[in-house]
A and B are shown apart, each in its own frame.
Chain A
């Protein structure tokens, strides 16, 4: 029994009788559940590896008594805390000890999800049909008609019937073992001890999630003496909460010893695809066309137009050239097909405001985008739009040049509608010379590193976009 502390130093600093007595009332079931759990830990020889999670409720002081690693959780969250411990050290033996308010009321989401995940932890669930620590209120497991301080006339249909957790947990796929036991006589106590030991053994053998519901007595809040409370559990509680094994599908043990995480920095860099390859530079200097050291671009279209990719490629090209660049996407609420806008900035030294409320360059893939953002373009700026789908150009600020390029047509002639954003980039390059051709092509090749087969098509699309502007195939409107 050395799993209990020699002296309960945390119980009122271990002074007086509290140093060796539990805080539980006479006849409370917790003491027995503690004892059987302590014996199981002892018998399985896992005291050093054990982490016990204390809940909120009467058993919040579990850590007063158990000489194991102890952690105290927020109300209902013990299974989540247990997952934290188990995933931090898969070698640890983690026990989530919870009462009925903790587990079956406030902590339902945590217990159900943890059970369904099948994480190999051991849950000891003490069901005494009432709230103990707060002073005898309705529990989710309170019986119909049972009087509590919050159901003074007895539990009515208004509160619904009591919840049967063992059956609920057994109905999930994750658990390997679920049993409901009781403590009211010697036979039940032997079973309870056996069940708790088994639930712990299944974790020690890494077989899976195990759950033991213990019907326990709370004489104080039932207003009974201890032996009346035992009788009540035996007669009233077991009628609603039948005892027995609810699930037992002991799977083969997984003896693979968990290996700790990898911290090798070389591997780390590999994993996030750090590269030592320096991108070549093609720009002689920062583009001066707009008389600014911070060029604002906007790409606007519908989701699927490729506005974001085009924007990223321009930003990437800028960064390759040694400038600072940023890209910010903004989408409509739809996962697919809504609006899709991108703000890009390219600055000689440092991008300040990364938004483009009045861009120098606009690429518009559809009429609403052009109508919305065309008028915001800075004087002296340039718009490239898809003339395949945009018939009317709105009135634009003075000094803004709009170039229509049949992006959709060109892309469709190439057999891949998807490349219309690259056509747009070619057009943008030819119309503005923001960066040299090779700058764009390098960024495109970088982006397609893992899909090399797509490179020739994209190069062709880029060339066609340029051509469209150069050969005046594009319709130019200068204000």
Chain B
């Protein structure tokens, strides 16, 4: 894609015309021209002129309030030095001819190459995936394989336990698919590489764990602002601080309420089996491009490391290229990826636009798994690995004749209130089971509160921390011990 340069004055070592021109050739040399309203009077041109044709101005330009330089071109030999000293694109120009107005830049610069007005949007293609036996893999591997099936060929990341296996598998597999595995200098760099790759319209992802996710939040805010897709798999570990490498669920607050600064939301998915690690990763890419917004998968240290059976879908994705991408080609040249809107009115309008996307996600992307909830009087609420413990507890409680059921949110944001609402009519009691200090409960309470549920059931909890997960027995005990005692926070020893 080389273009001939119509440069008459611009000296270029690359312009063969210029290079080959014999020294004696007399070239047409144009004198400079200046529309005073585009001159800021910096005076760089004054010292550049060897013939002293330009002098500092004395009169304030009424349009700009600045003092443009004066040109007296009698002595001008058309050397062009003043033009290359002028920092303004529409400042000093080689005289294009008589009597032009800048309203038509073509008169000044000639016709330009047009980028296409609206780039075409090339949709994803679904290709049949050969049928294979279920895989027996770790949750982290399942997610990585899900990403490959979803058409992701760009991975950026920084190693952090207990998420690293995902990155390691990508490092092994992506080169075989001519994809890109990039180990970044930090999580901060990682998220910004995803910003660039997502901005180019490609499917990018990372694996990280809680401390790394904290570092990525700034970039996620930028991605949301610039409306970029990208999938973040956060295999949550114990915190705060360096915490430990055991499972926790203490990033729910970050993912649902704190994706960096500003008005940010993203779909947050919480798998509870290796199978869901794969399924929800595939879904995450789809949602991420559908809404032009990052998607967060909150897994936990147990699930990331857990080996289980994983069935593959019937199709794999061959990605297209969205029209908004900045992909470095002519069709997309007119595009801008940006979260910066200096005018208050523009930024408010942008936020209103984002709000409408969030509303659309709330309406369409609520997901939950219900187990024995139809007649449940005690409703356990849990996600991730604690969701499995809670399911075990439901079985045990049912065997003891207690009408227990499990409400397992799969989307933590938006919280699946539509599925929860009807269950609240029958349930006397909710027991939220989680490996965090009530972060899941807070999401549920907010959803119930916004939904104006009349007389919601009493809410009790089983909460463990620091990598200790709630076990089936303590869940059963908590349900059995009754509402009063259960409201006391913390852990029974």
Task: Tell me whether B309 and A319 are in contact (CB under 8 A).
Answer: yes
User: How would residues 440 to 483 of chain B score, 1 for a CB under 8 Å from any chain A CB and 0 otherwise?
Assistant: 00000000000000000000000000000101110000000000
Instruction: Indicate whether B385 reaches chain A with its CB closer than 8 angstroms.
Output: yes
Task: Tell me whether B388 and A10 are in contact (CB under 8 A).
Answer: no
Give the chain B neighbours of A393 by CB distance below 8 A: none
Task: Tell me whether B318 and A72 are in contact (CB under 8 A).
Answer: no
* B interface residues with partner A (beta carbon < 8 Å): 1-3, 5, 7, 10, 12-15, 37-38, 40-44, 47-48, 63-64, 66, 81, 84-90, 102, 105, 109-110, 112-113, 115, 127-136, 145, 148-149, 151, 153-154, 156, 173, 176-180, 182, 184-186, 188-190, 192-202, 204, 218-219, 222, 226, 245-246, 302, 305-309, 312, 315-319, 326-330, 332-340, 343, 385, 388-389, 391-392, 395, 469, 471-473
A352 and B389 contact, Cβ closer than 8 Å, known pairs A26-B41, A84-B194, A260-B178: yes
CB nearest neighbor in A for B39? A26
A81 and B192 contact, Cβ closer than 8 Å, known pairs A43-B7, A186-B48, A268-B177: yes
Q: How far is the CA of A70 from the CA of B340 in the complex (A)?
A: 12
Q: Which of A69, A324, A330 is most buried by chain B, counting CB atoms within 10 A of its CB?
A: A69
Instruction: Indicate whether A360 reaches chain B with its CB closer than 8 angstroms.
Output: no
Q: How far is the CA of A258 from the CA of B97 in the complex (A)?
A: 45
A92 and B189 contact, Cβ closer than 8 Å, known pairs A17-B64, A81-B199, A265-B129: no
Instruction: Indicate whether A436 reaches chain B with its CB closer than 8 angstroms.
Output: no
User: How would residues 242 to 269 of chain A score, 1 for a CB under 8 Å from any chain B CB and 0 otherwise?
Assistant: 0000000000000000011111111111
Task: Tell me whether A113 and B40 are in contact (CB under 8 A).
Answer: no
B327 touches which of A89, A316, A353 (Cβ 8 Å): A89
Q: How far is the CA of A73 from the CA of B340 in the complex (A)?
A: 9
Task: Tell me whether A272 and B148 are in contact (CB under 8 A).
Answer: yes
Q: How far is the CA of A265 from the CA of B389 in the complex (A)?
A: 36
Instruction: Indicate whether A281 reaches chain B with its CB closer than 8 angstroms.
Output: no
Within 8 A of B (CB), among A24-73: 24-32, 34-35, 38-39, 42-51, 53-54, 60, 63, 65, 67-73
* Other A-B pairs, 8, CB within 8 Å; known A27-B43, A262-B179, A325-B309: A21-B38, A22-B87, A35-B86, A45-B5, A113-B184, A113-B185, A327-B306, A352-B395
Q: How far is the CA of A222 from the CA of B196 in the complex (A)?
A: 34
Task: Tell me whether A43 and B193 are in contact (CB under 8 A).
Answer: no
Q: How far is the CA of A355 from the CA of B226 in the complex (A)?
A: 42
Give the chain B neighbours of A265 by CB distance below 8 A: 127-130, 315-316
CB nearest neighbor in A for B196? A84
Give the chain B neighbours of A70 by CB distance below 8 A: 326, 335-338
Give the chain A neighbours of B193 by CB distance below 8 A: 80-81, 83-84, 87
Instruction: Indicate whether A362 reaches chain B with its CB closer than 8 angstroms.
Output: no
Task: Tell me whether B332 and A69 are in contact (CB under 8 A).
Answer: yes
Give the chain B neighbours of A325 by CB distance below 8 A: 308-309
User: How would residues 333 to 366 of chain A score, 1 for a CB under 8 Å from any chain B CB and 0 otherwise?
Assistant: 1000000000000000001111101000000000
Sorted from nearest, which 8 A-B pairs have the closest CB atoms? A84-B196, A92-B328, A31-B87, A274-B132, A352-B392, A88-B200, A80-B192, A113-B185
Task: Tell me whether B10 and A315 are in contact (CB under 8 A).
Answer: no
Give the chain B neighbours of A82 by CB distance below 8 A: 196
Give the chain A neighbours of B186 by CB distance below 8 A: 109
Give the chain A neighbours of B200 by CB distance below 8 A: 51, 84-85, 88-89, 92
Task: Tell me whether B328 and A194 are in contact (CB under 8 A).
Answer: no
A1 and B89 contact, Cβ closer than 8 Å, known pairs A67-B333, A77-B219, A315-B136: yes
Q: How far is the CA of A71 from the CA of B334 in the complex (A)?
A: 11
Give the chain B neighbours of A473 by CB distance below 8 A: none
Q: How far is the CA of A158 from the CA of B332 in the complex (A)?
A: 48
A259 and B178 contact, Cβ closer than 8 Å, known pairs A70-B338, A326-B306: yes
**Shortest CB–CB separation between residue A117 and chain B, in angstroms?**
9
Q: How far is the CA of A152 from the CA of B95 in the complex (A)?
A: 46
Task: Tell me whether B133 and A274 are in contact (CB under 8 A).
Answer: yes
A352 and B388 contact, Cβ closer than 8 Å, known pairs A10-B336, A88-B201: yes
Give the chain B neighbours of A6 by CB distance below 8 A: 105, 112
Q: How far is the CA of A99 from the CA of B104 in the complex (A)?
A: 33
CB nearest neighbor in A for B326? A69
Q: How far is the CA of A219 from the CA of B87 in the complex (A)?
A: 14
**Shortest CB–CB separation between residue B471 and chain A, in angstroms?**
5
Q: How far is the CA of A53 from the CA of B151 in the complex (A)?
A: 26
Task: Tell me whether A39 and B10 are in contact (CB under 8 A).
Answer: yes
Q: How far is the CA of A69 from the CA of B323 in the complex (A)?
A: 12
Task: Tell me whether B388 and A353 are in contact (CB under 8 A).
Answer: yes
Task: Tell me whether B177 and A74 are in contact (CB under 8 A).
Answer: no
CB nearest neighbor in B for A278? B133
Task: Tell me whether A69 and B327 are in contact (CB under 8 A).
Answer: yes
Task: Tell me whether B308 and A326 are in contact (CB under 8 A).
Answer: yes
Give the chain B neighbours of A68 by CB distance below 8 A: 333
Task: Tell me whether B133 and A84 are in contact (CB under 8 A).
Answer: no
**Shortest CB–CB separation between residue B45 and chain A, in angstroms?**
10
Task: Tell me whether A1 and B192 are in contact (CB under 8 A).
Answer: no
**Shortest CB–CB separation between residue A252 and chain B, in angstroms?**
19
CB nearest neighbor in A for B138? A327
Task: Tell me whether A351 and B182 are in contact (CB under 8 A).
Answer: no
Give the chain A neighbours of B335 by CB distance below 8 A: 69-70
**Shortest CB–CB separation between residue A77 and chain B, in angstroms?**
4
CB nearest neighbor in A for B40? A26
Give the chain B neighbours of A21 by CB distance below 8 A: 38, 40, 64, 88, 90
CB nearest neighbor in B for A23? B342
Within 8 A of B (CB), among A7-21: 7, 10, 12, 17, 20-21
Task: Tell me whether B2 and A22 are in contact (CB under 8 A).
Answer: no
21 contacts between A and B (CB under 8 A): A1-B89, A6-B112, A42-B7, A69-B332, A69-B335, A70-B337, A70-B338, A72-B338, A80-B184, A80-B189, A80-B192, A81-B196, A82-B196, A84-B198, A186-B81, A260-B178, A267-B176, A271-B177, A272-B148, A275-B132, A276-B133
Task: Tell me whether B189 and A109 are in contact (CB under 8 A).
Answer: yes
Instruction: Indicate whether A197 reaches chain B with its CB closer than 8 angstroms.
Output: yes
Q: How far is the CA of A53 from the CA of B473 in the complex (A)?
A: 55
Task: Tell me whether A227 and B43 are in contact (CB under 8 A).
Answer: yes
Within 8 A of B (CB), among A85-144: 85-89, 91-94, 109-110, 112-113
Task: Tell me whether B391 and A352 are in contact (CB under 8 A).
Answer: yes
Give the chain A neighbours of B13 by CB distance below 8 A: 194, 197
Task: Tell me whether B339 and A72 are in contact (CB under 8 A).
Answer: yes
CB nearest neighbor in A for B327? A89
Q: How far is the CA of A63 from the CA of B342 in the complex (A)?
A: 13
Task: Tell me whether A268 and B43 are in contact (CB under 8 A).
Answer: no
Instruction: Indicate whether A418 reaches chain B with its CB closer than 8 angstroms.
Output: no
Q: Which of B89, B128, B132 is most buried by chain A, counting CB atoms within 10 A of its CB?
A: B89
Task: Tell me whether B177 and A269 are in contact (CB under 8 A).
Answer: no
B336 touches which of A72, A81, A112, A329 (Cβ 8 Å): A72
**Shortest CB–CB separation between residue B297 and chain A, in angstroms?**
19
**Shortest CB–CB separation between residue B227 and chain A, in angstroms?**
12
Give the chain A neighbours of B197 by CB distance below 8 A: 84-85, 87-88
Q: How far is the CA of A259 from the CA of B85 in the complex (A)?
A: 42
Instruction: Indicate whether A479 reaches chain B with its CB closer than 8 angstroms.
Output: no
CB nearest neighbor in A for B12? A43
Q: How far is the CA of A303 from the CA of B343 in the complex (A)?
A: 60
A26 and B177 contact, Cβ closer than 8 Å, known pairs A65-B89, A84-B194, A194-B13: no
Give the chain A neighbours of B7 by CB distance below 8 A: 42-43
Q: Which of B135, B306, B317 is most buried by chain A, counting CB atoms within 10 A of its CB?
A: B306
Q: Which of A67, A87, A226 is most buried by chain B, counting CB atoms within 10 A of its CB?
A: A87
Task: Tell me whether A85 and B199 are in contact (CB under 8 A).
Answer: yes
Give the chain A neighbours of B188 by CB distance below 8 A: 77, 80, 109-110
Task: Tell me whether A85 and B196 are in contact (CB under 8 A).
Answer: yes
Task: Tell me whether B333 and A69 are in contact (CB under 8 A).
Answer: yes
A20 and B327 contact, Cβ closer than 8 Å, known pairs A25-B40, A43-B15, A84-B194: no
Q: How far is the CA of A260 from the CA of B473 in the complex (A)?
A: 53
CB nearest neighbor in A for B395? A352
Task: Tell me whether A327 and B307 are in contact (CB under 8 A).
Answer: yes
Task: Tell me whether A351 and B308 are in contact (CB under 8 A).
Answer: yes
Task: Tell me whether B40 and A20 are in contact (CB under 8 A).
Answer: no
Instruction: Indicate whether A328 reaches chain B with its CB closer than 8 angstroms.
Output: yes
